[in-house]
Structure 1
């Protein structure tokens, strides 16, 4: 009986399929969440690092030269525990060298890429407890352990050894920012050139 029933059903579908019609409409759905909680990020010293004057003779002609390693505290304070991430935005896009993960230092007057800076993260404390830094490259779809802040990625925190973002009220961490100037055989340095790196750290609330 099962074989006969199945054969009849298939025949019915074949016979009636020419009479089906394509849908003439589709839906767009907007979702989200309004939260009463807000978080405020702050960087020590107003987020300013002054490399000072770097003589050209101190720069390597064939290798990138590290011209500064600076330490800075970074804090995020929220009204209440909330799951959030920090999005890093390179304000000098397409001027860094070597990797899209870095943050550019601007261009020389001859439109040459001057170099890059790259913040490392450590000493993370969430509400007084040690936590890990985690990153997402797909907008929060997946997370992996992190030791640096990379351009245009999300940085969040997790309990030690895990990779799931957690709710935090007060977060603190230490950044150490390494700054490199490109090899001088790729640069025109016949006049003073400003070092002009900039990034924005933006709070993104997670579901």
Structure 2
């Protein structure tokens, strides 16, 4: 009888130790902040970047044709100081013709990565016209009138990723593709923490390139049809 009691005690102790380290449930937390501030993004010129009429006879028949650089400015206006960023999404991704576009970024470097380019639509013969890039001018960003540093996170589906790095002229790219989204925001000079402000100004450059005219095989006037959506990210 004594031995049986000892065995029972040993079993009970074993169960107690097991239950102290093992759990059969886990908690799901849903976090977020309801903000009272509202912010509005606007692009000057109605959001239109116009490269004008481009005579095909002036273009290369066999090489990528860089059409030039056009400026446009994104302004984000908030009702009260807010930490805010933005993403871009290519609305014509199916028409993207990946190519090497020279002098695409503010430092003069080329663009060749698919994730950093946007589609320009199709010809009447269903040929992809080309691609364009969108780059921030990092040295000209302002928040409430003061110079600010541009920040970006690594491209992914997690637009709230807070692993920020300072934007450089060679890495001032927006990214507009699923799985390759990047949030861009601003910080007080010399810091890596998004700053709260009421008016954020991001000067942008758009550089476009189209395929060789022999490849395009255009016989009628053809409209380029690039389109991207800018969306705000409350940080």
Which TM-score bucket, shorter chain as reference?
Answer: 0.7 to 0.9
Structure with the higher strand share, 1 or 2: 1
What is residue 130 of structure 1 aligned with on the other side? 147
What is residue 53 of structure 2 aligned with on the other side? 53
Shift of 1:192: 2.2
What is residue 119 of structure 2 aligned with on the other side? 104
1:22-59 Cα offsets, whole Å, 9 max, x none, are 94x76544322111001111111111122222122222
What is residue 109 of structure 2 aligned with on the other side? none
Shift in CA distance, 63/133, structure 1 to aligned 2, threshold 3 Å: farther
Q: Please show how residues 94-173 of structure 1 align to structure 2 within 5 Å.
A: 94-98=94-98, 99-122=114-137, 123-136=140-153, 137-138=155-156, 139-141=159-161, 142-146=163-167, 147-151=172-176, 152-173=181-202
What is residue 77 of structure 1 aligned with on the other side? 77
RMSD between aligned alpha carbons? 2.8
Moved over 3 A (4+): 25-29
Q: Please show how residues 17-28 of structure 1 align to structure 2 within 5 Å.
A: 23=24, 28=28
Indicate the SS of the match to 1:140. Answer: coil
- Work out the CA distance in 1 between the residues paired with 2:32 and 2:63: 48
Structure with the higher helix share, 1 or 2: 2
With 122-131 and 164-173 compared, the bigger mean Cα shift is at 164-173
Shift in CA distance, 185/204, structure 1 to aligned 2, threshold 3 Å: same
What is residue 44 of structure 1 aligned with on the other side? 44
| Cα pair 1:59 1:181 within 8 Å, conserved | no
- Tell me whether 1:179 sits opposite 2:208 in the alignment: yes
So what's the TM-score if we normalise by structure 2?
A: 0.72
So what's the TM-score if we normalise by structure 1?
A: 0.81
**Unpaired segments ≥5 residues, structure 1:** 1-8
1:89-129 Cα offsets, whole Å, 9 max, x none, are 11111322322211111122232221112122221111121
Shift in CA distance, 196/26, structure 1 to aligned 2, threshold 3 Å: same
**Unpaired segments ≥5 residues, structure 2:** 1-9, 99-113
